[in-house]
Each structure stands twice: as structure tokens, then as C-alpha cells.
Chain A
Amino acid sequence: MDDGPDNKNPALTGGLACPLPFTRREQVLLAHGAGGRLSAELIGALILPRFANPALTRLHDQAILTLPPGRLAFSTDTYVVDPLIFPGGDIGELAINGTVNDVAMSGARPLFLSLGLVLEEGLPFATLERILDSMERAAREAGVQVVTGDTKVVPRGKCDKLFINTSGVGVVPEGLELDASRIRSGDVVIVSGTVGDHGLAVLTCRERLSFISQIRSDTAALYNLVAVMLAASSRIRVLRDPTRGGVATSLNEFAASSRLGIVVEEDSLPVAPAVRGACEALGLDPLTVANEGKLLAVVAREDAEPLLAAIKGHPLGREARIIGQVVDEHPGLVALRTGLGVKRLLEMPVAEQLPRIC
């Protein structure tokens, strides 16, 4: 934890075996980020016990890691979400799963994470601990180690309760290259489950939209599913987790990089009934809403069915469907074929979606 030299001294933090007694306070104080005794307490009592591993526990400025041979997949993301805790998850789980998934979409097994916390003065410790608990759980379930980190506290009003940055690394298996430029005409697009759940869960919770039945975030770590998929097909062209901007954005990226067209069948899109209803009421399109536990795969046609079967056999892929195909027409563009058989453009969302009147 890079909070100045003092709290990196194992003698001061007491290491793992004997953490300093954590002086009970209700809320995070500025001093918890000042690098002194309170910082050391926070790290020793809240962080180390949860994420213990040899690299982290050294508490040096850097983690020293031994990686298996191969190419490194490296990704970073910063998580800001209001509210911190929402149905189906919280910011901590998101911060672990999101970066794990970004690494996993290269086919790499995510191995190590860094963790940066920006805390707002006054954040209740109860909230922080709950979020750290779910980070610990998410990291354990995803099989990644948090090996280095940093904590800062900023004055009240200078950030919104808690921001988290995580970076992650993994090693890409020999010979595997997942890239949208490898997409070919005739390939098939698969989605691993229902779309739009996460974005609607956060929106309806934040705005307290009581007229909408509860929707749970789908946040989940996807590497295990990816491993199952890679074992089932050697002809997967590309994988992507459609987070911000939703499925529409990822598909448009595929079309742009491959210079091919994509046609999505509207009727085949899996959308949970509550999400569909909420989107109708709010004037939103589930295809442009964020997901946190779903992936899109483009695969050679001959492997589509076996791959779909493999995905459906995994707990995170039960609702998987083939939703479209890659075509030579309209290169660079994505079309949606509606129930009436009409094709229309599916474009990238412009900006933050603003729910409509009435």
C-alpha cells in the first residue's frame, strides 16, 4: 500500500500474524489516508487479512511476480457507481469482476490484480468493510490475487464515497489470438445470457423506481466460462464483455474492426421480462445498457452449435443464444432485423441514456 514509507515497514504494521489493533471508528477520516498510524491500521486491519498473499504482505512499493511464459494481457479500469451497493452486487465485486473479465476476453487466465481505493472522508467503515468483503469473495472465486495497492482519502465532497481502480494481468495461452480482425463473413454471434440486467439494476435502484420490479445486476467473473469455451472450440474469433454501451457498442466495434456487416435477429435476443418492461417504461434500449457478467463471442459457423452447447452447460451461460451473423453487406455497420423482417441500423449509443418523460 503506497502510503509513504512508514506503513510499508512490516514492524509497524505488524504484518499478518499480529495486526495492529484497529481502533474502532465509525467513519473514514482524512488521517486514514495520510500515511501515518491510522493508514497503517486501516491497511493492517481491513486489507491485509482479506487479501493475504506473499506478494502483498511484503508491503513494498511493488509486487514482484513470477509469471508463466507467454504473452501478457494487461488491463485497467476505474469503477465509480452510484449507489455503491445495488441489487445483485456492489462496487467491490464490480471492480474485481470487471477487470478480471477484461483480461479474460483475451483468453488469458487472470492472475494478479492491483487495487487502488479513493475513499471520501466520512465513508462509514461498515460500508467499506462490506465492499472489501465482497471484493475478497470475488477475487477468491475468480482465482486472482491482489498483489499491490494504494489507498487515498480525499476531503468530503471531493469524490463520491468510494472510487476503485483495479488493474489486472494474465497470460495468454500459446498460439491463441482472439481479435475482431479475425472475424469472417458467415461467422455467428453468440451472447452468453440476458442483456441489460446490470445497467437497469443500478438505474432503478439509484432512482428508486419503485414501479419497476426488482432487477439484479449480473456481475460475475467470466474466466471459467471462457476456459470452457476455449476447450470447446478452436475457432472462436473474438470475445468481448459488453459493459458500458452494451451489446450495441461491442457489435459495432466488431463490425468496424472486421470491415464486415453484422445482422442481429431482434426476436432471438434474450432479455429478462423485468428488464424489457423497465426499458419500455423508461424509453431505453436493452442493447445499449451495460452488462457486467455477459460475453459476446464470434465463432466460425461450423463450431457455433457445439460452442453454444458448451456455454449453456456452464452456470453463467444457461440463457446463451445465437443472436446474429456476420455478412458481407453493409461493411462496418450492424443491422437489427425486427419481427417484421425489416432491417434497420443498430448504432452505438451517443451518450449517457437519459430516461424519458411519462
Chain B
Amino acid sequence: MTRYVSEFRDPAIARRLCAEIKFLVTAPWVIMEVCGGQTHAIVRSGIDQALPPQVRLVHGPGCPVCVTPIEVIDQAIAIARRPETILCSFGDMLRVPGSHQDLITARAQGGDLRIVYSPLEALQIARENPGQQVVFLAIGFETTAPGNAMAVSLAAREGLDNFSLLVCHVLVPPAMRALLGAPDNRVQGYLAAGHVCTVTGLADYEAISRDYRVPIVVTGLEPNDILEGLVMVLRQLEAGEHRVENQYQRSVRPAGNPLAWGMVEKVFAVRDQKWRGIGLLPASGLGLREEFAAFDAARKFEVAAITPEESPLCISGLVLQGIKRPDECPAFGAGCRPEHPLGATMVSSEGACAAYFHYQRL
């Protein structure tokens, strides 16, 4: 990892790639980076400011924390507050605002909430606490699905009846299609999320590129990955071509990781899924298959119907679709700041509002 990191951040290479982009571009282009990690790398390293003015980057919906519906946060809070439960979550869900509070406040008020780094850690907590119900807040894109599937199949094999998942899994390609299909779409090329394709492979992306005639370059997360991905997209755009290219070859194989995805398909089935700020997208999520229903926290804990309340000021839906930039939101930096966020995009480490806030230009 270490060796890779320095190579893909070398400023001399970055400057050369920037020069190449300037040389290449003859017309205005709008390119979306799908993944929130890429958004952060772009804003943090200043790629958006180093690009020629004709190249406009818009930020995509690729932040799993941001698109997790507010109801799921509310449900998680309700579960965490029950005396018999231990709720396990990735760290960056903790400050995401629910309708009335966030998970970190629920913890301060006595809920047993633990930060874990993988679902297998949550599984271990379940093994060690047979008297408690352990619930893992299983959110994420295709990248985290294999781990969650693995945890469920292990729990099933071991007959653990005190482990379950509160599932909110979203799939990237349906969202990419939805954005391209929108009447006001401006996106002409995609930097696709390299980490996601590592798991799934490229087949869905080939289809999108064909159907919508857009160049898609599967791109890594480091600044120089992104610059190289941009060079590849812009070459296609300038040449009037559209195909899938793989910038992130050190990690992505065309077929993905069939073993990992096979595990996902064994445990999960595709379902319609609501995205926070965007709405219901058909076949854009994963739910536990019927035979694993016993591990579905949403069924296990009859969480009373909660009426979710979004902040009326927050335009994170538009931000997530690349229609508005975070700094175009009237609340940005004023009513909405990381210490009192109105939307998830302001607190997630992959959220676009957080990126703009933390890495403001000077």
C-alpha cells in the first residue's frame, strides 16, 4: 500500500497530467466522478482548480453514508436505544443526522453503540455476548456487500440467533443510469468508482456506455489516478468515442471478483431501493434473501413506523446528483457546518459538502 500511495501522489506526475489535459481539451466538457472518495481527493488536492476552465467536474452520488435514507438512521437509533441490543456501525455513520438526533447522541444517552471496522468484528461481538442482540448497520455500495454476506453466512452456519443486519445496500450502475436518463442531464463522461468495479467487474458499465453513448473510465482514488482517468475520458470525448476503459488496472479485472460477488448473490437479492435525497430507484439495492430473513434486523425488531423529517433547507439531493455544487446551497457554512450538519453530505468522510467545507479554497 505504502509504495503505491507515494507513486500515485507524486506532484511531478500530477503536473505533467494536468499539462496533458490542457493540451488535449478543445471544447467544454462535463464529467462526473461517481465516487465520494474521488470527490474528496479532487477537492483536497485542488485538481478542480488546476483543470482548464473548459473541463467541469460534477460530483456524483457515490457516498454510501450520504444516500442511506433517513428512515434507516432513525431505525438504527431506535434499535440502539433498546436495552437488549448492541448496535455496531462504521464510524462515519455516527454523526449523520436522523430526523431528531444522530447515533452519537443516542450513545451519549445510554444506547450501546460500537464502532467497528468490519461486519466480522460485529459478528465476534455477537459470539461474545450471547445474551445481547447484536445488530450491524450494513450500509454501503458493492464494495462492502461481500463482507456483509460473509458475516451472514457465517452466522447462519454457526446458528447464531443474536446477530442481524440492518441493511441498506445500494448499487452504483442503476444510479448512473438514472442520472443519464434525467431530462436535465449534463454529464458527458464518467469516472467510475474503481473500488466498486474491483468487486463487480465491468459488464454493467459496458452496457451503460453503449446505451447512453458515454465514455466511462474506471478510476482509482489517488489524485494521479483521477488525473489519468480524466485524460482517458477527455481523449474519448474529444475523439467522439465512447467505451469503457480501465485506469485502475492494478485492482480491477474485467470480470471483477466472481468469488466475492458469488457470495453476495447467495445472501442478497436485488431490490428497489430508496436513496436519500434522490428517491426510489428501481433495482438499485440489495436486500437479504428470504432464507436469511432471520438475520434481517428490520424484520426482527418491529421498529414502529417513524415519520422521517428532512431539514427543509438541505439540498443534498441536488448535490448528490451533481445538479448543484455544495457551495451553492444557501445553508452551506452558515446554518450547516460539520459540527451541526443539516444533511449527511456534510458529515460523511465521502460527502461532497464536507469536502467543500474542509478544503475551502483560499
* Given A355-B92, A356-B349, A340 contacting B359 (CB threshold 8 A): no
Give A355's nearest chain B residue, CB to CB: B91
Q: Are B9 and A339 in contact (CB under 8 A)?
A: yes
Enumerate chain A residues within 8 angstroms of B139, measured Cβ to Cβ.
357
Q: Are A345 and B361 in contact (CB under 8 A)?
A: yes
* Residue of A267, A338, A357 touching B65 (CB-CB under 8 A): A357
Bound: A356/B95 CA distance, A: 12
* Given A340-B18, A340-B45, A345 contacting B359 (CB threshold 8 A): yes
Enumerate chain A residues within 8 angstroms of B140, measured Cβ to Cβ.
357-358
Q: Are A277 and B50 in contact (CB under 8 A)?
A: no
* Given A342-B50, A345-B360, A350 contacting B18 (CB threshold 8 A): no
Enumerate chain B residues within 8 angstroms of A330, measured Cβ to Cβ.
362
Q: Closest CB-CB distance, B225 to chain A, in whole Å?
A: 12
* Given A333-B362, A343-B362, A350-B338, A355 contacting B117 (CB threshold 8 A): yes
Which of A304-345 touch B at CB < 8 Å? 330, 333, 335, 338-345
Enumerate chain B residues within 8 angstroms of A281, measured Cβ to Cβ.
1
Q: Are A340 and B47 in contact (CB under 8 A)?
A: yes
Give B354's nearest chain A residue, CB to CB: A350
Bound: A281/B91 CA distance, A: 13
Q: Closest CB-CB distance, A29 to chain B, in whole Å?
A: 27
How many residues of A are counted as interface, with CB atoms below 8 angstroms from the partner's CB atoms?
A: 30
Give A339's nearest chain B residue, CB to CB: B11
Which of A263-303 touch B at CB < 8 Å? 267, 273-274, 276-277, 280-281, 283
* Residue of A335, A354, A355 touching B362 (CB-CB under 8 A): A335
Q: Are A340 and B50 in contact (CB under 8 A)?
A: yes
Enumerate chain B residues within 8 angstroms of A355, measured Cβ to Cβ.
90-92, 115, 117
Q: Closest CB-CB distance, B123 to chain A, in whole Å?
A: 14
Bound: A338/B40 CA distance, A: 13
Q: Are B5 and A276 in contact (CB under 8 A)?
A: yes
Interface residue A159 (Cβ < 8 Å from any Cβ of B): no
Q: Is the interface of A mostly helix, strand, loop or mixed?
A: loop
Which of A213-250 touch B at CB < 8 Å? 213
- Most chain-A CB neighbours within 10 Å: which of B2, B65, B93, B95? B2
Q: Are A209 and B117 in contact (CB under 8 A)?
A: yes
Enumerate chain B residues within 8 angstroms of A342, measured Cβ to Cβ.
45-46, 49-50, 361
Q: Are A338 and B45 in contact (CB under 8 A)?
A: yes
Q: Closest CB-CB distance, A351 to chain B, in whole Å?
A: 7
* Residue of A207, A280, A283 touching B5 (CB-CB under 8 A): A280
Interface residue B339 (Cβ < 8 Å from any Cβ of A): yes
Bound: A330/B47 CA distance, A: 22
Q: Closest CB-CB distance, A269 to chain B, in whole Å?
A: 12
Interface residue B99 (Cβ < 8 Å from any Cβ of A): no
How many residues of B are counted as interface, with CB atoms below 8 angstroms from the partner's CB atoms?
A: 44
Bound: A173/B12 CA distance, A: 46
Enumerate chain B residues within 8 angstroms of A274, measured Cβ to Cβ.
2
* Residue of B9, B46, B338, B339 touching A344 (CB-CB under 8 A): B46
Interface residue A150 (Cβ < 8 Å from any Cβ of B): no
Bound: A330/B90 CA distance, A: 36
Q: Closest CB-CB distance, B227 to chain A, in whole Å?
A: 9
Enumerate chain A residues within 8 angstroms of B50, measured Cβ to Cβ.
340-342
Give A353's nearest chain B residue, CB to CB: B91
Q: Closest CB-CB distance, A241 to chain B, in whole Å?
A: 24
Q: Are A354 and B359 in contact (CB under 8 A)?
A: no
* Given A330-B362, A335-B362, A358-B140, A283 contacting B349 (CB threshold 8 A): yes
Bound: A274/B18 CA distance, A: 28
Q: Are B5 and A277 in contact (CB under 8 A)?
A: yes
Q: Are B339 and A356 in contact (CB under 8 A)?
A: no
Q: Are A357 and B360 in contact (CB under 8 A)?
A: no
Bound: A333/B115 CA distance, A: 33
Interface residue A160 (Cβ < 8 Å from any Cβ of B): no
Enumerate chain A residues within 8 angstroms of B358, measured Cβ to Cβ.
345, 347
Enumerate chain A residues within 8 angstroms of B49, measured Cβ to Cβ.
340, 342
* Given A335-B362, A343-B361, A344-B360, A357 contacting B64 (CB threshold 8 A): yes
Q: Are A354 and B94 in contact (CB under 8 A)?
A: yes
Enumerate chain A residues within 8 angstroms of B143, measured Cβ to Cβ.
358
Q: Mark B7-42, 1 if CB is under 8 A from A, else 0.
A: 001110011001000000000000000000000000
Q: Are B360 and A354 in contact (CB under 8 A)?
A: no
Interface residue B188 (Cβ < 8 Å from any Cβ of A): no
Enumerate chain A residues within 8 angstroms of B65, measured Cβ to Cβ.
357
Instruction: List residues of chain A with CB under 8 Å of any chain B CB.
Output: 207, 209, 213, 267, 273-274, 276-277, 280-281, 283, 330, 333, 335, 338-345, 347, 350-351, 354-358
- Show 11 A/B contacts (Cβ-Cβ < 8 Å), sorted by A: A207-B115, A273-B5, A274-B2, A340-B223, A342-B49, A342-B50, A344-B362, A351-B339, A356-B350, A357-B144, A358-B90
Further pairs besides A335-B362, A354-B91: 14, Cβ < 8 Å: A277-B1, A280-B5, A330-B362, A339-B223, A340-B18, A340-B45, A340-B46, A345-B359, A347-B360, A351-B95, A355-B117, A357-B139, A358-B90, A358-B195
Instruction: List residues of chain B with CB under 8 Å of any chain A CB.
Output: 1-2, 5-6, 9-11, 14-15, 18, 43-47, 49-50, 64-65, 90-95, 115, 117, 139-140, 143-144, 195, 223, 337-339, 348-350, 358-362
Q: Which 7 A-B pairs have the closest CB atoms?
A: A342-B46, A339-B11, A354-B91, A356-B349, A357-B90, A345-B360, A283-B349
